[in-house]
Amino acid sequence: MIVCKFGGSSVASAQQLEKVKAIIDSDSRRQVIVVSAPGKRDSSDIKVTDLLYSCCREVKESGSCETSFTKIENRFIEILEDLSLETDSMRKALAEVKKNIDNNAGENYAASRGEYLNAIVIAQYLGFEFVDAAELVVINENGTINEETWELIDKKLDKSKKYLIPGFYGRNKNNVVTTFSRGGSDISGAIFAKAMNAEVYENWTDVAGCYNADPRYIDAAYPIETMTYKEVRELAAFGASVFHSDAIAPVMEVGIPINIKNTNDINACGTMIVSEKNENGPVGVSQIGTYTKLTCRKLMLYKEPGMINLIHTVLRTYGINPLFSTQGVDTFSLVFDKTSISEKNLSSLKTRMLEEFKFDNIDLENDLAIVGVVGQQINDDLLYFKKSIDALYENGIMIYQSVTGSSSLSFFALVKDIEAKKAVQVIFNSLFL
């Protein structure tokens, strides 16, 4: 059995759904299909999920989501008509969804309806059995998968049948519809791949796989043929966005390979994500921002045991979760997401830390980005690190900190956000060209 997940661009229109049908029909093992809400048909289009979020805002402002929901309704009816399918049942489903949103069903419910409605359409088109994800997927408060999910899927789904399931959402323990984070349909696909003991989890999107750099601004970037689960998670942490990093865990636990494929080029190999591979060395470089670096200085800081724990306690009261921290003899520095704290609260934090911990001074470096390099065993050979740092230095890019990861899989450098793309380019050139 193969479990397939099709992303928003793959199910954005009737024309795209015809491609999806051809893919599914080409291999009878493709029995469980997980779908996203319709994405953009072109650069000027609006994703259905974004329209649904707009519906919630309209209800708060005017009591009705008529304006945005009309666009959603037209979108689904157009898809059905283009596929020569009946529209009466969908009109009823749309009317029920609009009524619930107008009655303040909540943002999670509204956001999930793009997947829900699209799954109904595609099930009708393919002749698969529609199953509501809320019947099977139970999501904990922290966004993790509740163990009850596996029992529910085992009882409900028959491995001899074909199913169409909406991604991105489930329900909580109180039976209230709950969504994963954006892009969470990847997680849904992984859940069903694990539960059905799939041979492979195919993730169909609009690109030819996971690239070794962002092809939108690195012209020479190309798809990575094979990656490990751990490499994907590391690369995602540095901003690569082809695959949701949380979707790795379910299939990683049981060793099911993931194949990222291109709906618009069925013959392309894509990227295989596996447990282990023989090749070492860098597989990708990416960047993420914007961050702030806070550096505290105090003579003989290392002689005051327990202070670092106290500092972290204060940071939590301000909602700061440091990405990483380092300590020297007289200094302690940490890096955190700039958007996690307002300028006013940051100033208050700095004043409090100066007074409470008697630091000599505290410095702040704002608008920084992290540029990371990922690859199996890359920290076992200093050549890759040296090439990357040399490339930044030779191109006049200031390095605010360089760090080898906590494993042998990655290293990264802090640079100014405005220079992050250039930093990715020069590191890419030094390692891959």
pTM value > 0.85:
yes
Tokens 């199996």 correspond to what residue? 376
* Tens-digit pLDDT string for the chain (433 aa): 999 999 999 999 999 999 999 999 999 999 999 999 999 999 999 999 999 999 999 999 999 999 999 999 999 999 999 999 999 999 999 999 999 999 999 999 999 999 999 999 999 999 999 999 999 999 999 989 999 999 999 999 999 999 999 999 999 999 999 999 888 899 999 999 999 999 999 999 998 899 999 999 999 999 999 999 999 989 988 988 767 778 888 999 999 999 999 999 988 889 999 999 999 999 999 999 889 999 999 998 888 888 888 888 999 999 998 988 888 899 989 999 999 999 999 999 999 999 999 999 999 999 999 999 999 999 988 899 999 999 999 999 999 998 886 778 999 999 999 999 999 999 999 999 9
- Strand, coil or helix: what is 369? strand
- Residue 324's pLDDT is what? 84
CA atoms within 13 A on the CB side of 354: 11
The CATH code of the domain at 284-432 is 3.30.2130.10
- Residue 182's pLDDT is what? 80
- Residue 243's pLDDT is what? 74
The answer to whether the CB of 137 falls within 8 A of the CB of 172 is: no
- Residue 296's pLDDT is what? 92
pLDDT tens, 191-200? 999 999 999 9
Fold entry, domain 2-276: Carbamate kinase (3.40.1160)
- Residue 4's pLDDT is what? 98
The domain spans of the chain are: 2-276, 284-432
The answer to whether the CB of 368 falls within 8 A of the CB of 415 is: yes
- Residue 242's pLDDT is what? 66
Structure tokens of 40? 């953009």
pLDDT tens, 169-179? 999 999 999 99
- Residue 183's pLDDT is what? 81
The answer to whether the CB of 183 falls within 8 A of the CB of 244 is: yes
Instruction: Report which DSSP code applies to 301.
Output: G
Burial class (CB in 10 A: 0-12, 13-18, 19+), 373: buried
The answer to whether the CB of 238 falls within 8 A of the CB of 371 is: yes
The answer to whether the CB of 287 falls within 8 A of the CB of 372 is: yes
- Residue 110's pLDDT is what? 97
The answer to whether the CB of 269 falls within 8 A of the CB of 227 is: no
